Structure formats: structure tokens, C-alpha cells
């Protein structure tokens, strides 16, 4: 099934943001003002080891805050992870989360219909085997603060490893790709608005956004935009902000591409879909080297 319906409105958001509830440097009101000022519509509050409750303060903000958490810890095999949970959770206060450990906390997220995203695997130093172990719903294909810290913000190799795994439920893997800021907004971690997602839905409300994320009807970006993405049963056609390259990415070395090294930019491209590829997604790249990625274009059989 083709994943994209881009007939509605695009909303910009970030799935990984820290606030003073853990180690974020700016109050939630200031974070909201900053992000709303550059066009964001929603932010997930994902503080370390403590589930947010964005409605608890009764305040009004210029964008939509949504609930989440960032978990960290070791699994029984001794691998260390950071995992972002998207959703509203009970039973994950700081004390409860720390006491139960990573795998039990991930179970709490799953039981309450949350999404589990493997955070910044290259920065953490995860093996591909560890990335594949917990059937994560998604992985951070790009984490802006990790790119700042030591250049290890790119999770693309992990994403492709997760997409290429055998899947017993469907013939195609469902792993979603997320670009995010992981903003801390402290003097030593000042970066923000370097990685985000765009969701195309009729309204910017928590259930609508969560359903679209779950369905993979969003794309991730560090710069360029997709304006529409359509499939006619054979070819995927899409319009974008001015880009220099566009690629249809498949498993291992499979791929198609268009573009040039003369600097000529374009805003429309199309690729025919090879039916034998186990998965494919689109990547676009602008003249500054900033990239954007769709999720895999097809979900399920
Ligand atoms: Zn982290
Ligand atoms: Zn984080």
C-alpha cells in the first residue's frame, strides 16, 4: 500500500526535544516561542527518564506540545541504548523509570500504544545487531545535536539494516525514519532547527498527528521540502523545493538517481518503482548538501 497522501496541510514538528524537566536549558514557553517563530506546529517533549504531561501546566503555547520520553539503559545482553518514546504514558515517573530499567520501560511504552524510536544509534555506538533486536518502530536517520557533538548524527546505515531485515508480519519492514533536533539549548549544545519531520494531515491535533506518524505518512528533513508525493501504480512523482539531486533508494546497492554536478536545480522528478525491491524510499539533496527522506513508499504487502 502506498504510504503517502499529500492532499492535506503540511505541519512541521520535532520528535526529540529536552526541557528543564531533564537537561534542557530553556523553559518550555521559550522553546515553544523559538520553534513557532521558525514555522513549527508541534514538538514532542522527550526528557530523560520522565514521561511528560504537556497539559498539566494549563498554559497556552504558540504551538502544540505533545507527550514523550527518552529512555536509556542496558538490555539483558549488555547493549546500551537511548530510545525515544512518543505518546502519553503513566507509570514512567523518574523514580519508576530508573527503578524498572530500560526493557521494562520500553514495555510500558508499548502497552500504552506508544512508538519506540531508536535514538542516535551511531552516536551511542550501537551495533546493527543491537539495533535489530527490539523491533523498534523507527530510528533517527538524522540527529542534529549528535552531528554537532562529534559528527555522528547520521543513522541511515542503521535504518537500512532495519529495513532489510526479514519480517514475519509483512513482506516489507515498517521501520520509520526520523530526522530530529534532540535540542538541549544549553551553551554547550546550542543547535536547533537542524532536523525535523513534516506531516500532511487535515488538522494539527495529537491523535491525527500520532496516527499519521504511525502510518508513516510524513517525511524527514534537514533542509529541502517535498510538496507532494504521488504514485500511479508504476511511477512515483514528486514536487520539491529546489534540489540538486533526487534518489530512489533501495536495498543494498540498488538505487536510481537524477541530478547533475553543474548546479542546475529542479523541483520535480519521477521514478518507476522496481517491483522486485524489498523496499524503497526517496532522498532529495539541495545545493548545500542538506537532505530529506521519505519513509519507505510502500507499507505491507
Ligand atoms: Zn539520547
Ligand atoms: Zn535526547
Domain containing 141 — which CATH number? 3.20.20.140
User: What CA–CA distance (Å, rounded) separates 75 from 178?
Assistant: 23
Is residue 299 in a domain? no
Is residue 157 in a domain? yes
Is residue 180 in a domain? yes
Residue 121 pLDDT grade (very low, low, confident, very high; cuts 50, 70, 90):
very high
pLDDT at 173: 65
How do residues 87-117 score in pLDDT, each as one tens digit? Answer: 999 999 999 999 999 999 999 999 999 999 9
Domain count for the chain, please give it: 1
pLDDT at 171: 45
Ligand 2 center to 82 CA (angstroms): 8
CB atoms within 5 A of ion ligand 2 belong to 70, 182
Q: Of 194, 281, 203, whose CA–CA distance to 4 is shortest? A: 281
Is residue 226 in a domain? no
How do residues 194-206 score in pLDDT, each as one tens digit? Answer: 999 999 999 999 9
Ligand 2 center to 67 CA (angstroms): 14
User: What CA–CA distance (Å, rounded) separates 21 from 5?
Assistant: 36
How do residues 263-276 score in pLDDT, each as one tens digit? Answer: 899 999 999 999 99
Report the side by side order of strands in the sheet with 266-272: 226-231, 235-243, 266-272
Is residue 111 in a domain? yes
pTM for this prediction: 0.96
Structural domain harbouring 47: 9-221
The Cα angle at residue 245 between residues 140 and 149, in degrees rounded to 5? 35
Amino acid at each position: 500500500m502506498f504510504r503517502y497522501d499529500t492532499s492535506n496541510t503540511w505541519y512541521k514538528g520535532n520528535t526529540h526535544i529536552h526541557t528543564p524537566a531533564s537537561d534542557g536549558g530553556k523553559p518550555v514557553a521559550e522553546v515553544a516561542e523559538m520553534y513557532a517563530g521558525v514555522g513549527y506546529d508541534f514538538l514532542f517533549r522527550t526528557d530523560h527518564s520522565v514521561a511528560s504531561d504537556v497539559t498539566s501546566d494549563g498554559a497556552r503555547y504558540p504551538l502544540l506540545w505533545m507527550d514523550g520520553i527518552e529512555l536509556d539503559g542496558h538490555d539483558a545482553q549488555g547493549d546500551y541504548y537511548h530510545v525515544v518514546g512518543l505518546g502519553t504514558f503513566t507509570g514512567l515517573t523518574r523514580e519508576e523509570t530508573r527503578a524498572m530499567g530500560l526493557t521494562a520501560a520500553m514495555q510500558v511504552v508499548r502497552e500504552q500504544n506508544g512508538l519506540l524510536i531508536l535514538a542516535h544509534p551511531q552516536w551511542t555506538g550501537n551495533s546493527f545487531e543491537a539495533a535489530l533486536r527490539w523491533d523498534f518502530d523507527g530510528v533517527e536517520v538524522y540527529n542534529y545535536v549528535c552531528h554537532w557533538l562529534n559528527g555522528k548524527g547520521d543513522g541511515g546505515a542503521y535504518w537500512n539494516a532495519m529495513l532489510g531485515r526479514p519480517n514475519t508480519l509483512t513482506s516489507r519492514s515498517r521501520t520509520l525514519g526520523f530526522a530530529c533536533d534532540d535540542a538541549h539549548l544549553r551553551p554547550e549544545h546550542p543547535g536547533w532547527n537542524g532536523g525535523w519531520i513534516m506531516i500532511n494531515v487535515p488538522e494539527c491535533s495529537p491523535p491525527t498527528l500520532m496516527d499519521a506518524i504511525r502510518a508513516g505518512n510524513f517525511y524527514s528533513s534537514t533542509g529541502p521540502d517535498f510538496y507532494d508525493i504521488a504514485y500511479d501504480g508504476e511511477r512515483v512523482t514528486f514536487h520539491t523545493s529546489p534540489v540538486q539531486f533526487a534518489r530512489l533508494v533501495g536495498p543494498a546497492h540498488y538505487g536510481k538517481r537524477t541530478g547533475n554536478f553543474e548546479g542546475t536545480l529542479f523541483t520535480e522528478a519521477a521514478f518507476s518503482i522496481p517491483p522486485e525491491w524489498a523496499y524503497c524510499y526517496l532522498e532529495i539533496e539541495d545545493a548545500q548538501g542538506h537532505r530529506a527522506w521519505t519513509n519507505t513508499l510502500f507499507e505491507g504487502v
